[in-house]
Amino acid sequence: MATYADAFSRSIDDPDGFWLDAAEAIDWITPPTRALDDSNPPIYRWYPDASLNTSANALDRHVAAGRGDRDALIWDSAMVGEKRTYTYAQLLDEVARFAGVLAAQGVTKGDRVIIYMPMIPEAAIAMLACARIGAVHSVVFGGFAAPELATRIDDAQPVAVVTASGGLEPGRVIEYLPMVRDALALSASAPATVIVKDRAQVPGSAVDHGWLDWDEQMASADAVGPVEVAATDPLYILYTSGTTGKPKGVVRDNGGHAVALVWSMKYVYGVGPDDVWWTASDVGWVVGHSYIVYGPLLLGATTIMYEGKPVGTPDAGAFWRVISEHRASALFTAPTAIRAIRKADPEAAELAKYDMSSFRTLFAAGERLDPDTFAWGTETLGVPVVDHWWQTETGWAIVANLRGLEPMPLKPGTATVAVPGYDVQVVDAEGNRLGADAEGNIVVKLPMPPGTLAGLWRDEARFRSSYLEAFPGYYLTGDSGYIDGDGYVFVLGRSDDVINVAGHRLSTGSIEAVVAAHPAVAECAVVGIHDDLKGQRPSGYVVLKSGATISADDLRAELVALVREAIGAVATFRDVTVVEALPKTRSGKILRKTMRQIVDGEEYTVPSTIEDMSVLEALVEQLGR
């Protein structure tokens, strides 16, 4: 692949040839003779005649190749002050034995297993063990409330739940076992088997509930080998929020997933088997699935699993310590983590304490990387800060700056260009393709590449209605934005974040970008609120940087002037409220919809994914709602 243009063109014009070549990076039991099954559009499948085992590709083949002594997984817990390293041979042994534990409980190919665990190595071991025996895992973010867990149990209908006594957050302990107990009581599909990894720091144990103890089961377990599965068989179900209140179970297959993740590690991230790679996320999210567990291990690299926060565990140098100590080449995190570090340590005094010579690239995704954070990260770290854009549904990047193929000039505010395999377009409300710089709905022309969602768990009708029917022949991303004359894609926010001000459609993401550029602003959110005259108007909520001394009136005046200059008087931006913090999900996304409902005095439901309820409560009190 000499150039990006050549790779992209071939991926669109000859997807079969392109992805068959990419499939050579995977060890197949039955190699594919064709890549794309397009016999049932708009439903597509990849590698329909092939078979493999994902766990064997992540572990066994590296050991067989003589790399068993290579570090596979480094666990670094700032919460308990403990570090643990597993070589590929050691991780294979743990996974094969836990696969034996599951098999001894009657778990077989095609069965579902719910994994409800904190950021400990056993979470990754359980995922890989399921893949080893052909079971379908569904990881639920550790700490989700019992009703949310019960909903997922009822949808997936698992034969087992794998959990731990609890998780640790700064200043608090989250006990999982009472929530598992309550979820099972609420569920109509409660499994008989529950396996618990005991943590000394958290009250409660398996014996309290008559469940199985992880360590006891492992002590007598027989290691089992990998089971052959079809490339099109499901590897996992990952639930994402649905507009109806019922979560959508995104299904990922085995074959396309393995090919896409190895390809992405090499070409999107520019990472090789000798690199140490760190994704600062959680295994409960798609980022953790793809780039804590599967991507780096399928490649044969070393992956870091971190239990802690970017600040407060113990300070704003936590991320720099992990990079320095473990000689990480790259970090993948959410922009909100960088903003948190910047807010606590705007001059980056903590950074100077660490040797960062191994560090090559900072990757950001999960939310929009605002230009100010991009600039601060670039100047402070002295390495490329690379935005990229993708979704739970796609499983890997839609738009990126391909560091291992042909790195392109970085522009603030854009995730760069469409990744090979993704024919990204912008269309208007009627589905007409728009030209350069025209804002509209971002869509992907079908078929999407391997590794993207194969469907929704046992709900094809919802799969079609949610993603495929709005614009026939296209996948609906749900995001709005535009593509500039250089082919760079600018993602401005969810389509429902476009507001109508006196007949003018404006993106709140565009206004946020202007507000975030102010030197006193650490982070911000702009939401569209009701206006009797204009229908809607933008309202800004701003968190100040540490040490900022500007008055609220001066800040408001300066921000109003900036928005007027950048976007125009049509935005009618005049509301600015300084807040201590913005309410967010545990994955770092700002709860803009909930904020809008609070400001408008509407009824609202607190999302189960909220990170800190006290932040939302403080906002409600401040706004007098």
Q: Which DSSP category does 25 fall into?
A: G
Per-residue pLDDT tens digits for 43-98: 999 999 999 999 999 999 999 999 999 999 999 999 999 999 999 999 999 999 99
What band does 403 get if pLDDT is binned at 50, 70 and 90?
Answer: very high
The whole model's pTM is what? 0.85
H-assigned helices in 363-507: 371-381, 460-463
Tokens of 71: 């570090």
Question: What does the block give as tokens for 480?
Answer: 């709005």
pLDDT given for residue 624 in this prediction: 64
Mean pLDDT, residues 602-615: 80
Give the pLDDT confidence score for residue 567 in this predicted structure: 73
Q: How confident is the model at residue 363 (pLDDT cuts 50, 70, 90)?
A: very high
Token pair belonging to 497? 């974040």
Q: What per-residue confidence (pLDDT) applies to 495?
A: 62
Render 339-394 in DSSP notation, one character per residue.
HHHHHH-TT-TTGGGS--TT--EEEE-SS---HHHHHHHHHHH-S-EEE-B--TTT
**Cα–Cα distance between 425 and 413 in angstroms, integer?**
18
Q: Which pLDDT score is estimated for 534?
A: 65
Residue 503 has pLDDT above 70, yes or no: no
Contact 303, 297 (CB under 8 A): yes
Query: Region 382-399: what's the mean pLDDT?
Result: 96
Position with higher pLDDT, 502 vs 358: 358
Confidence of residue 243 (pLDDT cuts 50, 70, 90): very low
Q: From CA 144, how far away is CA 611, in angstroms rounded?
A: 10
CB 366 within 8 A of CB 587: yes
What is the DSSP annotation of 189-224? S--SEEEEE--TTSS--GGGGT-EEHHHHHHTPPP-
Average pLDDT along the chain: 92
* pLDDT reading at 447 higher than 60: yes
| Torsion angle of the four alpha carbons 554, 558, 563, 568, in this order, in degrees rounded to the nearest 10 | 100
CB neighbour list of residue 212: distance below 8 Å, 6 or more residues apart? 105, 193, 194, 195, 196, 206
Query: Up-side HSE of residue 153: CA atoms within 13 Å toward CB?
Result: 29
- pLDDT over threshold 60, residue 406: yes
The C-alpha atoms of residue 280 and residue 263 are separated, in whole angstroms, by: 21
Residue (of 534, 536, 543, 621) closest to 579 by Cα position: 543
Q: Does 164 score more than 90 pLDDT?
A: yes
pLDDT of residue 179: 93
- Surface-to-core class of residue 99, CB atoms within 10 Å of its CB (0-12 exposed, 13-18 middle, 19+ buried): buried
Confidence at residue 505, expressed as pLDDT on a 0 to 100 scale? 54
CA neighbours closer than 13 Å in the CB half-sphere of residue 227: 21
The three-state (H, E, C) secondary structure of 30-72, written as one string: ECCCCCEEEEECCEEEECCCCEECHHHHHHHHHHHHHHCCCEE
**Cβ atoms of 538 and 508 closer than 8 Å:** yes
CB 204 within 8 A of CB 178: yes
pLDDT of residue 158: 98
H or E element at residue 262: helix 255-267
Tell me: pLDDT of 515 over 50. Answer: yes
Which helix (H) or strand (E) segment holds residue 154: the answer is: helix 146-156
Cβ contacts of 476 within 8 Å, gap of 6 or more: 441, 443, 466, 467, 468, 470
**Comparing 144 with 38, which gets the higher pLDDT?**
38
Helix or strand run (H / E) with residue 442:
strand 440-445
The whole-number average pLDDT for the span 485-498 is 81
Domains of the chain, CATH where assigned: 4-308+388-481 (3.40.50.12780), 499-623 (3.30.300.30)
Structure tokens belonging to residue 270: 């520019």
pLDDT band for 623, please (50, 70, 90 cuts). Answer: confident
Query: What was the pLDDT predicted at 38?
Result: 96
> Which residues, in sequence order, are CB contacts of 537 under 8 Å at separation 6+?
499, 501, 528, 529, 531, 572, 573, 574, 575
Both tokens assigned to 118: 């904190």
pLDDT at 244 over 90: no
Return the pLDDT at 265. 98
Residue range 209-224: mean pLDDT, rounded = 98
DSSP 294: I
- pLDDT tens by residue, 459-471: 999 999 999 999 9
Cα separation of 157 and 155, whole Å? 6
Give the Cα separation of 219 and 98 in Å (integer). 10
pLDDT in tens, 543-600: 999 889 999 999 999 999 998 877 766 678 889 999 999 998 876 778 888 888 888 8
- Residue entry with tokens 């079609």: 464
Residue 500 has pLDDT above 70, yes or no: no
Q: Which of 421, 451, 407, 385 is nearest to 270 (CA)?
A: 407
